[in-house]
Amino acid sequence: MSQPTSITVAKGDGIGPEIMDATLHILKEAGAALDIEEISIGEQEYLKGNSAGIAKESFDSILRTKVFLKAPITTPQGGGYKSLNVTTRKALGLYANVRPCVSYHPFVRTKHPKMDVVIVRENEEDLYAGIEHQQTVDVTQCLKLITRQGTERIVRYAFEYARANNRKKVTCFTKDNIMKITDGLFHKIFDEIAGEYTDIENEHWIVDIGAAKLADTPEGFDVVVMPNLYGDILSDVAAQIAGSVGLAGSANIGPEHAMFEAIHGSAPRRAGQNLANPSGLFLGSVMMLLHINQVEVAERAHNAWLKTIEDGIHTYDIFKEDVSKEKVGTKEFAQAVVARMGQKPETLPAVHYARQEKQIDTNPPYTRPNVVRKLVGVDVFCEHVGATEEVAKALQACDANGLKLRMISSRGMTVWPEGFATTLLCDHWRCRFLVEDPENGAALPHTEVAALLDRVAKSGMEFIKTEGLYYFDGKPAFQMGQGQK
């Protein structure tokens, strides 16, 4: 047996302890070499006053072992509690969420008998950065951040994952027909990096039609990489249509640390009855074994599990009279897997985890591109209750030193100098000031922006924020107003 790998284990709440015991039992019998540090997380920690659901010493264990196998927890009702998952992801920089969604037809009922999709979701950026503000009485905003560095590493991770797992294609979903700059960057980087992996097919779909196709014909997809929000939603859809959310495991991977879990929750109503299906957590633990390079153990355990499913030994949640042979409890299911150790499935495809010579590089080097940036104007966001012409008149009076009001928009839609009478107006106005010749003229000094804001303040108009308008390498790095001519 190889040197044991230290891991941190948390049994969580509800069905957590039962499914964790079942999982650890299978791993032990499969020959996993693990040195387990057990920590307490979840409800009892929240109720003790740890608002993050974990004590500092317990978090230190994860920092030390770098590998965290986590059972689901119950978030107590009422406010004031922070999500342990969000805390762990952010604190450890677990940027890649990997969720294989596989159907086990004909042994587990599904509408999609040939589904075998892995969703790779960016886990830290996008609308989840938590940068939200109320700007005016009427208007709130949430900033969507897509970084070059974050996108490069998640896209590269998806291709490296595909290569390491003998996958043939990586698909990217974005909405870059609308979000041309943020999702546009994600798509552009996807195309750049895809070019480095000529052995793997690549394609891009606009997320709406891509999601429809994924739900309708998932067999057409292999690995799918997406920004955070789309990935959050579509990974649940994909797991559910594969057969059951109770069967899916998930890995959260960072440059140095990783967390493995089931995707379902703590199912409190099923707790303590030896009923729950341990498969989601078990499949999460198989990803953990691959991560810590115990490849043969992962293969042995996974194939024994597949054989158990194939033999119709099922927990209540997937038990069906016509396909299942025996309804078992959590412990008995684990015993059935252990009894099949060394066997392979006959109808379902067996897994072959070839010895991975090289682990996926989770912290690839990043070189910030050298780009020339030129300030050419500023969007000044103002609060005002009244007519468009009132805003235009007050702000045109602020034109000076070549900086001129060119456009006003309401909720992104241009309303001045021309607009549509049908556009809904609210108390939030984006007023665009630009220099005369943004492309060829000199850069706008920052002092001119400050001087403009001084004039706006004196005009009596209430400004609430500004956004710099730049050219990067001679090209505009901001969108026109919708409907702008």
What 3-state class would DSSP assign to 199? coil
3-state secondary structure of 212: helix
Q: Using an 8 Å Cβ cutoff, are 396 and 465 in contact? A: no
Closer of 52 and 73 to ligand NAD (Cβ): 73
Euclidean distance between CA atoms 429 and 383, whole angstroms: 6
Q: Which of 302, 309, 341, 347 is nearest to 328 (CA)?
A: 309
Least Å from the CB of residue 127 to ligand NAD: 20
How far is residue 17 from each of residues 20, 43, 251, 288, measured CA to CA in Å? 5, 13, 19, 18
Is residue 144 within 8 A of residue 179, CB to CB? The reply is yes
Binding site for ligand NAD (CB under 6 A): 15, 19, 72-75, 85, 246, 261, 264-270, 276-277, 280, 317
Residue corresponding to tokens 């196709």:
213
Q: Are 35 and 6 in contact (CB under 8 A)?
A: yes
CA atoms within 13 A on the CB side of 294: 25
* Nearest of 201, 263, 191 to residue 231 by alpha carbon: 263
Residue with tokens 């440059």: 255
Residue 316 is given by DSSP the state T
CA atoms within a 13 Å half-sphere pointing along the CA-CB vector of 479: 17
Amino acid type, 409: S
Q: How far apart (Å, rounded) are the C-alpha atoms in residues 36 and 29?
A: 15
Say what angle helices 56-65 and 84-92 make with each other, to 10 degrees: 50
Is the preceding omega at residue 445 within 30 degrees of 0, hence cis?
no
Q: How far apart are CA 215 and CA 35, in angstroms?
A: 41
Residue type, 460: G
Give residue for tokens 């159907």. Answer: 103
User: Rounded to whole angstroms, how far apart are CA atoms 223 and 161?
Assistant: 8
Amino acid at 295: V
